[in-house]
Chain A
């Protein structure tokens, strides 16, 4: 079973558009949306949800005001500036509060409080779903807005996707990754066989591609590059080719810019089912190269 993750560094280069088409073309696979922060793949795959699970990923910390003696010990311990004080007119601490947008739920403050005034409880941080689509099993998640721990949720659904893949003896696990290079990207790259980097011939696209390739190299994941909207700037497309050549990375596809791609998204149809044209041909070629790998 081959595990493939589609990443990009820069957002909006066409990860989901391409992943949905791979889902449509390929046979015998499991599909996972590892972008749990702003999941979009479900919009194109129209899943029928079979199972819904709660993700307990974080902690909510609060101070029991009846017990708190306002000693300020927690203030000195917290490394996330999450302990806030309300002072009275004599500049003395009137009240100590936890700022939930700064708190990372580590619980360190608990171990310094002399009167056990700090309370902590596990918190629901999102949901994840196992679904059926006409393309095969599809696992995706929704992290609660403003939540922490997206890497943990990505690891969870990736693991689940691979488990289902083993059960049904799938040939591929196809994963749509998140933008960026931080924890959810690292989580969606760890242990996969191939990373497909979708980039665009813009200076931003190139800068971001180089950083995300650096992450894939660090974790020793084989990388292939697809250039989307390659005809927007041919000079930059050549520059991408040069960079890839130097890093010994294959460029396995060139997709031209087309407003029809937007139309296919508006109609929520994977592109290869939307239009039988040269773009569809090219996506099929790209998938063949990945599948043969």
Chain B
């Protein structure tokens, strides 16, 4: 059996948010740490899409950055195609094979560069057209043109600046740049959150077409469950730095197990007004600096009991899904 393209084991990232040394000494303040990501594990098979969903501050973007090596993990490792690729020590050959698309197409493109330079940068960086002179320049220009056409732009757009494009077109440029080195794995961090719905549909369609054409594997980060349902094969739901439920898309949406997943599904405004009764969940995400003991969802959970307040649930395989909940494990819900 072949191994999955991406394997993540016990991944954790802790940020030091302590006050400065002088304040700690003078005001006797302790060191403080945020456990942005804690004990996250999943695998993504070739050509598949795993989506991570959760509310702001749940650590989904940190997972994305850990995967592409923008952060070094505190614990755990990322294995890409059988090779350890954790942190910045990863070999260049691995880096070429994974790329990232960011949320804000206004901030992720250099406003002083022409589109052709933006899209060509990864090509130059990874030595796509080695050597100097006209031949390699022409090869790069040709490749940039191909890439722009593949995302629905034209050759002529290469000589424009980012400000001449709308948000949706800029996100296409980001996608073209990400595809430049012919990666196998794309990490997409909220790629359509900044876009209008009709433009979002265009970008999602392009991403699906490219996946089929190039056999791409996606990690898709989003807070929008409807979008996740549309693009993904598998879904991981995150809450305060941990995966609370990891399941096949069909199972997760037809039979959500974790109370938080149910709450998220229930919170989506229903466009078709099917008369589903909605119970807005009380409370808010707790402060990650001071997370509750036991299961971090317990203060908002209608099924919480004494055990939930003391013991942190593990991600267990139950009925074909993986879920971290004592109530589900004990068959209370």
Partners in one complex: no
Interface residue ranges, B against A (CB under 8 Å): none
Interface residue ranges, A against B (CB under 8 Å): none
